[in-house]
Amino acid sequence: MCGRMAVTLPHDAMAQMFQAAPGNDLPEVPNYNVCPTNRVHVVASDGARRLSAMRWGFLPNWYKAENDGPLLINARAETIAQKPAFRDAARARRCLIPASGFYEWTKDAEGNRLPWYIARADGAPLAMAGIWQVWGNDDPMATCAVVTTAANPAMAEIHHRMPVIVAPEDWALWLGEAGHGAAVLMTAAPDDALIWHRVDRSVNSNRAAGPELIDPLDVE
């Protein structure tokens, strides 16, 4: 599962990292509380890589309105090739969704939602596997979803799902630049790839903002 993320890398650094041409309408950074339906940074390729903005919330072509069905922010790796909403995009419209980290939640004995911030152990940005498509005829909009898989044993202590993290050496394969076989990449990252810490419950609000959202929370 990935339901909230943070993006702090500057646009020029992001473009350089992925060797992608940046668009002119990229979302503002840093953003420590990127929420579903927000515009997110996406790297896609049609032979040349482009860094652009897309709505986080994949819209199948049969939706008549943005709220015409479930909000599809994630696509399960196990069923992505069979689901009518995702299968064409999984075959032909894959992308990378950069993030500095993402949030996940556990619950305490009273049912309170306790947020965790999760990032790469080596401090590098995440490149999450994604799919995309353009929705609408009158006012076309590019939309995307994060591909998720079953959590590795370490991550399973926080949540049973996690984003598919694509290693730099596999970016070309996931983007369709290096032939076929991207399905083999839709697995969980190694146990030691990610680290996490508790953060303040203020991030539970989609209106919260600021770098303090990812600060470690002192818990006993």
CA atoms within 13 A on the CB side of 1: 11
Residue whose token pair is 């903005």: 53
- CA-based Rg of the chain, rounded to a whole angstrom? 17
Catalytic residue list contains 95:
no
Is-catalytic flag, 104? Answer: yes
Give dist(CA 15, CA 49) in Å, integer.
Answer: 9
Instruction: State the catalytic residue, choosing from 28, 35, 104, 169.
Output: 104
Cα gap 123→120, rounded to integer Å: 5
Q: What amino acid occupies position 45?
A: S
Catalytic residue (choose from 2, 35, 66, 144): 2
Q: Provide the annotated active-site residues.
A: 2, 104
